[in-house]
Chains A and B, each alone.
Chain A
């Protein structure tokens, strides 16, 4: 079975541009979470979606938005990119909405903002 897949794997943008990152969860998983991992730091929670509804939001500005589609895949959008948005963006899926089940992480999308 395929794991969590993310696209693109690497991308370079310039300040002020917009970016869309995509995530396909493991088949049967209804929850998708997004995390930002800045170089040298641990992942930081951005959003969680379960059954196409937002169930959690981290401390990120409104430039960050996300959505989940009927097939449970998800997009993370970031507007007006800043240099500080350069990071590895990780998507994780789980069967349920709680943490007792395992979170399965994708390999991430590495965003560089110039």
Chain B
């Protein structure tokens, strides 16, 4: 069974500050890992994903994440927050043998202040 833990239901940063959203996973097989963003009243949009290969993954809008197997982590970062980054972020995991089945964390709301 897989699971995802996102530390912090809310994270507040100032515009221009570093964004760090934490995600730890549990999986019995090598995982596929994802970060999605959800803006109010909208569906989810894929930010980035890790399947195999390079452990540092770059995504859209300047976000990146690093897969650390030893720490079972996949934290999302962005060097400089923008007001438009305010949204809810979800980390998700899937096993390599699975179909389009994702197990999501509970989400982290990112608040950006001017």
**Measuring CB to CB, which residues of chain A are less than 8 angstroms from any residue of chain B?**
4, 31, 33, 35, 40-45, 48, 50, 55-56, 58, 90, 92, 94, 97-103, 105-108
Contact = CB atoms under 8 A, between A and B. Distances in A.
Interface of B: 4, 32, 34, 36, 41-46, 49, 51, 90, 92, 94, 98-107
B90 A50 contact: no
Contact of B100 (A4, A40, A94): A94
A33 B100 CA distance: 7
A43 B44 CA distance: 10
Contact of B51 (A35, A45, A100, A103): A100
B28 to A, nearest CB: 16
B101 A33 contact: yes
Smallest CB-CB A-B distances: 6 pairs: A42-B104, A105-B43, A105-B44, A99-B94, A107-B43, A55-B99
Nearest to A92: B100
Given A107-B42, A108-B43, A42 B101 contact: no
Contact of B99 (A4, A35, A43, A48): A48
A102 B46 contact: yes
B106 to A, nearest CB: 5
Q: Specify the main secondary structure of chain A where it touches its partner.
A: loop
Given A94-B100, A98-B100, A106-B43, 20 more contacts: A31-B100, A35-B104, A42-B4, A42-B104, A42-B105, A43-B44, A43-B90, A43-B102, A44-B104, A45-B102, A56-B99, A56-B100, A56-B101, A58-B101, A90-B44, A92-B100, A98-B98, A98-B99, A103-B102, A107-B42
A2 B114 CA distance: 35
A14 B83 CA distance: 39
Contacts of B105: 42
22 contacts: A31-B99, A31-B100, A35-B104, A42-B4, A42-B104, A42-B105, A43-B44, A43-B90, A56-B98, A90-B43, A92-B43, A94-B100, A97-B100, A98-B98, A99-B34, A99-B94, A99-B98, A99-B99, A99-B101, A105-B45, A107-B41, A107-B42
A44 B49 CA distance: 19
